[in-house]
Amino acid sequence: MNRVALAFNPLDLSHTDDPYPRLAALRRDRPVSTPLPGWHVVVRDADVRTVLADPQAWSSRRNNTSVPNTPEAERELALSQLDPPGHTRLRRLLSPAFARTTVEALEPVVRKRAEVLADQLRHGEGSVDLVAAFTAPLPRAVLAAFCEVTEADAAEYDRWAAAFTDLLGQRARPEWPGFEEWARRASDGPALSGVLGQLDRAEAVTFLHFLIVAGVPNLRHALGNLVIRLLRADHWRAVGLPEAIEESLRLDPPALWQMRTATCDGVLADTPIRAGERVVAVVASANRDPARWGEDADAFRPGRPGLRAHLAFGKGPHACLGASLTRLQLRVAAEVLIDRFPGLRLEPGFRFRRAGDFMSRGPAALPVHLE
């Protein structure tokens, strides 16, 4: 086994374009590796779960941020950059907007927007890029509906998500004034069933920023990954779709890893880790760990036992708040596409070309025939 195969640098796009061979080698031979000074990469299911479930030992505090360490700047930290009790307070206030009954009430809206986009596809001939025509605009439209704002600014959501994707120094970006104006309008209205009214203005703007950055591109990636997986596995049908969606999320999570910071000296999988060092918990690797998922962990098997225990939505206090909304969008979007285009197929010779930042992965383009 050469040393190249035993390295996974989460900040190297050449490692994250197709991360799975490297991650499989690490699971076998080096479950905790150190690709950068003070950075440790954790790849086995049990160890990833340990890190994500314990915020006292593995902190989310101030990760991926350049916000000053001042009391005033606390309101500018994203939900993913907070530990209890601050995280607990915000999540409790926001949770009603993401409750299952609230999300289920959005299904007619999601379906209508998916149908409109699908009907527009019919006007095309031959090959169509499903990313540009469907998987990118649908999350924008649904976000506008979820925030109870008009779709007038929806075309900007992808640009904002791309500009602010690293959560670093976003207020210095030229795109920030336009986003902040939109966020202030949204937070002054009925957005998120009115729960933003319980936050102060800075917290509300910060949360909408987080919703754009985390929600729009990751849903686009998850939907593109799902279409590819269903077509390649000859599973382009509505029967068994919820299980197929979970298996697609397990095999192809749109977010590859999460970062934590050690709060004290300790040992993880026989590897010493010092307080203040970064830990990268690679959920994309944990989701394919044979120790959890069996020797066929790399195979698409929607009937797999315990499938919803995958880590695509994380685990512990930072488990994805929008998991129900994501599942709803994936199911409805797939149902509409399958109903409208039962003969949909990938363009011959299609090769996956990755879009996303260091942490995310989905198709940059998805050329299909609409038969």
Contact 47, 32 (CB under 8 A): yes
pLDDT band at 1 (very low <50, low <70, confident <90, very high): very low
Residue 43 has pLDDT above 90, yes or no: yes
* Side chain identity at residue 124, one-letter code: G
Residue 166 has pLDDT above 70, yes or no: no
User: pLDDT tens digits for 348-360?
Assistant: 999 999 997 888 9
- pTM for the whole structure: 0.93
Residue 212 has pLDDT above 90, yes or no: no
Q: Which residues of 82-121 are buried (b: 16+ CB within 10 A; e: fewer)?
A: bbeeebeebbebbeebbeeebbeebeeebbebbeebbeeb
Which residue, among 287, 268, 264, has the nearest Cα to 277 in the 3D structure?
Answer: 264
pLDDT on residue 118: 95
127-129/278-281 β-pairing = unpaired
Residue 65 has pLDDT above 70, yes or no: no
User: pLDDT tens digits for 125-137?
Assistant: 678 999 999 999 9
pLDDT on residue 172: 77
3-class state of residue 258 by DSSP: strand
pLDDT on residue 73: 61
Mean pLDDT, the chain, rounded, equals 90
Residue 290 has pLDDT above 70, yes or no: yes
Q: Region 341-366: what's the mean pLDDT?
A: 93
pLDDT on residue 144: 87
**Measured distance CA(103)–CA(113) in Å, rounded:** 15
What are the structural domain ranges in the chain? 13-369
Give the range among 28-42, 67-81, 169-183, 287-301 with minimum mean pLDDT.
Answer: 67-81
Residue 68 has pLDDT above 70, yes or no: no
Residue 300 has pLDDT above 90, yes or no: yes
pLDDT band at 186 (very low <50, low <70, confident <90, very high): confident
pLDDT on residue 77: 82
Residue 234 has pLDDT above 80, yes or no: yes
pLDDT on residue 141: 92
- Extract the runs of DSSP E, i.e. beta strands, from the chain: 32-36, 39-42, 58-59, 127-129, 258-262, 266-268, 271-273, 278-281, 345-346, 354-355, 362-363, 367-369
Residue 167 has pLDDT above 90, yes or no: no
CATH of domain 13-369: 1.10.630.10
pLDDT on residue 163: 80
